[in-house]
Structure 1
Amino acid sequence: MAAFSSSCSSYISSLLKTRHAVRFQFPSIDPGIRERRRTFSYGVKASSAGNLAPNWDALKPEQGSKAPSLSDILWPSAGAFAAMAVLGKMDQVLATKGVSMTIAPLGAVCAVLFATPSTPGARKYNMFMAQMGCAAIGVLAFSILGPGWLARSTALSASIAFMIYFRAIHPPAASLPLLFIDGAKLHHLKFWYILFPGAAGCLLLCLIQEVVCYLKDNVKF
């Protein structure tokens, strides 16, 4: 009986030692594994209080950028004035045909070409590919779906997909389908809308952009 008691005591003692050893090994788990477990458990990684602070830098001018000179402001503004003046004169010639060259998207094109000529949106490929493709999408959407919210929504989503697929991001072009669908005076152009007034107007703006960029680089004050 004494031998049996001694054997039981030894067995229980060994179990307690084993349990203590296993418990003692838990803190040695790799911290990275513990962090990944916590991430999978809660869906997001815990952030410190400092990381939750709003990024106010986005509401300030770009850091490190110098203030524009007077010539950097004047020449793009003068280019926009010249562009709208020429388009306005062309409107007078085309008035009998009921077509206007001074459409809103060309104002946005002026801002891109004259103020930010080095950005992807100002590349000639991006501009003409997007202008012509989005205009065609607008005509198709109106022909199939007619006027209304469904045509506008479909045309806009298809235009964005088109620009992404062809790597021709040019934001002003996204407004061309909406302009055609809602502009009754443009409906008679049908697929001529692909070239006129958007693409034709951009060609004129490209010529003015060359003059503006030359003046910005060579006539500074």
Structure 2
Amino acid sequence: MGMQLMRTSRFHHHLLHPESTSTPPTKALLGLGHVNSRSIVNIKRRNQIYGIVASSNLASPLWDSWKPEKGSAAPSLSDITWPSAGAFAAMAILGRMDQILAQKGMSITIAPLGAVSAVLFATPSSPGARKYNMFMAQIGCAAIGVLTFSTFGPGWLARSVALAASVAFMICTRSTHPPAASLPLLFIDGAKFHNLSFWYALFPGTAGCVLLCLIQEIVLYLKENFKF
């Protein structure tokens, strides 16, 4: 108790007479008046090893997610034009194929392919754009939708089970491809797809992805060789 009072009195004495001592007030209060520079370096090194950081830095990751990615340069005009042109060409070709398939009561243009186009053309180096991820997830999640509908019928339970099973499937097979998670819901709620049964695993999602992959190769070539 006496030691604490003595340290406290030294701290207040330093505040009133800072020129009378060379020991900083914080060190005087904590009893670190004789800590040398080597000890300070060791303390900083231990803080780095054990991940001890200042409290002002703890909130930065939360706010960083609301900001543009650091170090990313502004996209050039060609980086915007070619992916946009690829998306336009993809939907135009799919629309033309719909006109041909309409005589058989079929369609290949579905909403998830719009999301696939964004992944392939805008973020070609992301994990979701890998061919393995895309085709494994497209086939697996579409089949899950058919199986879930056959088991539970239409309704919220089938949609919930199908989505949960799709997420588990993509994690287990390491084939994360977000657009594929919408395929089971599309089948369960879309009566026009029910007659396809398990063919739905290949058409229209997987078949449309084949076309989008071909267009992606053209887009990547144009981006690499025709910059402006």
What percent identity do the matched residue pairs reach? 77
Unaligned runs of 5+ in 2: 1-52
Q: Secondary structure at the match of 1:211?
A: helix
TM-score w.r.t. the length of structure 1 is 0.76
TM-superposed deviation, 1:51: 5.3
Q: Secondary structure at the match of 1:59?
A: coil
Amino acid at match of 2:180: A
Show the counterpart of 1:172: 179
Show the counterpart of 2:194: 187
TM-score w.r.t. the length of structure 2 is 0.74
CA shift digits 1:73-112 (9 cap, x unpaired) = 0000000000000000000011122221110000000000
Distance across 1 between alignment mates of 2:209 and 2:133? 11
Show the counterpart of 1:109: 116
Does residue 130 (structure 1) correspond to residue 141 (structure 2)? The answer is no
CA shift digits 1:142-161 (9 cap, x unpaired) = 00100000000000000010
Distance across 2 between alignment mates of 1:197 and 1:61? 35
Q: Secondary structure at the match of 1:169?
A: coil
Q: Secondary structure at the match of 1:99?
A: coil
1:13-92 aligned within 5 A:
50=56, 53=59, 55-92=62-99
Unaligned runs of 5+ in 1: 1-46
Cα root mean square deviation, aligned: 1.6
Amino acid at match of 2:178: P
CA shift digits 1:40-78 (9 cap, x unpaired) = xxxxxxx97635646322211111100000000000000
Distance across 1 between alignment mates of 2:58 and 2:134? 39
Distance across 2 between alignment mates of 1:196 and 1:183? 14
Distance across 2 between alignment mates of 1:83 and 1:51? 45
Amino acid at match of 1:106: L
CA shift digits 1:165-211 (9 cap, x unpaired) = 01111100000000000001111111110110000000000000000
Rg comparison, structure with higher value? 1
Q: Secondary structure at the match of 2:65?
A: helix
Distance across 2 between alignment mates of 1:52 and 1:211? 44
Show the counterpart of 1:209: 216
